[in-house]
Each structure stands twice: as C-alpha cells, then as structure tokens.
Amino acid sequence: MYQLPLLIRSLPLSFVTLWHYIFVLPLVLVFALPLMVLTIIPMIGSLISVTIFTFIAFMGYRCALAAFGKGNSPAVEKLVKSSMFFGVINTLVAAILATLCFGAALGLEILGIGSDIDAPWGDALPMVPSLVIIGFFVLNGLYNCAIAVPMTASAVEATASGRNPDPLFGIGRGTFSLAFVWILWLVGIYFSGLIQFVIEQGVFALHQALGDRISVDPIAVPQYNIVWVIGSIFYLMWGTCWYYATAIIAWNDEVQRREAERTRTVEVARMSAEDLRLLREARMQKLNQR
C-alpha cells in the first residue's frame, strides 16, 4: 500500500506539536535556567550542558508524542538519564567527525589544494576551512537525523513503567525525510534574516556596553518590523516541531513494521505446528490401517 512521504504525513502533526511546544518549552527553559550556572564547573559543566540541551530535545519529542495521541506521564529521572546518555554519545560523535574533517583539511593543505570560494552573501572565503565546516555540518546533521528515531524510542519509554529502550531502535529510519525537513528549516531561517538580526542585535548590545572601551564606529540600531520578528520566531519553532513530528511518524512506522514481522513469525510457527500435527495424525491412520 502506497504511503505519502514522512515529511508530508508529519505536516498536520507538526502544527499540533507546536501547540504543545509553545506551552512546554518555557517551562523547560525555566527549569533548566538555574542549572546553567553549574556549567561553569570544569568537566562536570560540559556534561551538564549537553544533558540540558538534549533534555530540551527530548521534551520536543514528548510534545510530538502527545500530539500524536500516545502521550503518557513521563518519569523525569529517566528523561535525565536518557538525556545524559545521548548527550554524551552525540558529543563524542561530533568530536570524532570534527577530527576527521580537520584531518581531511590538513591533507588538502599538504597537497596544495586550496582557493577561495564565493559565499552566498558575496564574500570570498578560503576553500579548505570552508569545506571543513560544511563537511562537519553535513555529516553531523545526517547523524542527528539518523539518531532521531532511537531518541524518540527513549522518550517513549521514559515513564515509570517503561522498559529499558534499545539505544539503536530504528536507527537510520526516516533519515532522508528528517534531513529534508532540517534543510528546509535552515534555508527558511537563512532567508528570513533572523540570524543576521540576532547578530546585529548582539553587536549593538556589545557596543552599547563597551562602546567607550573599543575603538569602533557607532552602530545604528537595526531597523526591523515586530511582525517579521514574531513570524520568524514562529517559523523557527514550527520547523523544529516539524522535525520532531517527522521523527514520531518514523518511530511509529518502525514499531508497526516490527509488530507485523512478529505477527508473521507467530503465524508461521502456528502453521508449522499445525502441519506437524496433521502429519502425525496421517501417520497414525496409516499405522491403524495396517
């Protein structure tokens, strides 16, 4: 039976997820804000930092799960443990990918390969460092898409009666659709100008605080429309919810596939037992006829 692509099937769910996300995200941020102070502690601070950011992602999966009609009461302790586990794993993978990309850049430099490339905004950028950043960004993004379903499975099982989840459950499932949603989200954010707006506001705030201590020309207050800012933030949140909703649909497809395989296995086993019984009865009849 033909099914629409994941990213299409998850579109209606993304808006319902956004409704949950708008209410849950502020509560999570309020809960996480005091813990951010602990991130200044050496070594332990890094663990706390990745755990917090992964916990926020888990709450996004939980919002999509509730919007999908499979919500349940979460166990915060299990969510924190899963956030710590995946936070550490994802950070290690990112470090490995960054090292590989850096090594590839050194190899290109040794071979003397390198020139400038034109950025979309018109500046000329060194090719090798640019390729390192792009390569890491793409590889790490694909990994995050591949690990989305296992993280969803962990979010589902993060309840008082939940089982210990398989950390590789459905790994890679829906990667293409998730990557496509992620790319559309990034392209939309780029063309919305939200990134440039945040940078301009940050630079302006820095100049306001340190204007007398740094020798730079005065920075004008960036002009913007409040409707545009709200719309851009809304798109940022909705795109994130679309990603979570796509992961939930992919997880549900994997669950249904495994249940169908399990049912087929049981049916085959039952048929085999029935065949054996009929074979035994046929043999007994032959013996009785003798």
Torsion angle of alpha carbons 199, 204, 205, 210, nearest 10°? 120
This model's pTM is above 0.85? no
CA dihedral 183, 184, 187, 193 (to 10 degrees): -130
Helix (H, G, I), strand (E, B) or coil at 124: strand
Q: What angle do CA 190, 194, 200 make, to 5 degrees?
A: 115
Q: What are the Cα distances from residue 116, in Å, to 98, 119, 127, 137, 211?
A: 21, 9, 5, 19, 34
For residues 138, 143, 190 and 221, what is the CA-based torsion angle, rounded to 10 degrees? -110
C-alpha pair distances (Å), 222 with each of 109, 198, 200, 216: 39, 10, 7, 16
Rounded to a whole number of angstroms, the distance between the first and last alpha carbons of the chain is: 53
Q: How far apart are CA 64 and CA 15, in angstroms?
A: 10
- What is the residue-level pLDDT of the chain in tens, covering all 290 positions? 557 788 899 999 999 999 999 999 888 888 888 777 777 777 788 888 888 899 999 999 999 999 998 877 888 888 989 999 999 999 999 999 999 888 877 776 666 665 555 555 455 555 566 677 788 889 999 999 999 999 999 999 888 777 877 888 989 999 999 999 999 998 888 887 777 777 777 767 766 766 555 555 555 555 667 788 788 889 999 999 999 999 999 999 999 988 888 877 766 655 555 666 666 666 666 555 55
Whole-number Å distance between alpha carbons of 66 and 240: 16
Q: At 146, which amino acid appears?
A: A
- Write the Ramachandran bin of 241: left for phi over 0, alpha for psi from -120 to 50, otherwise beta: alpha
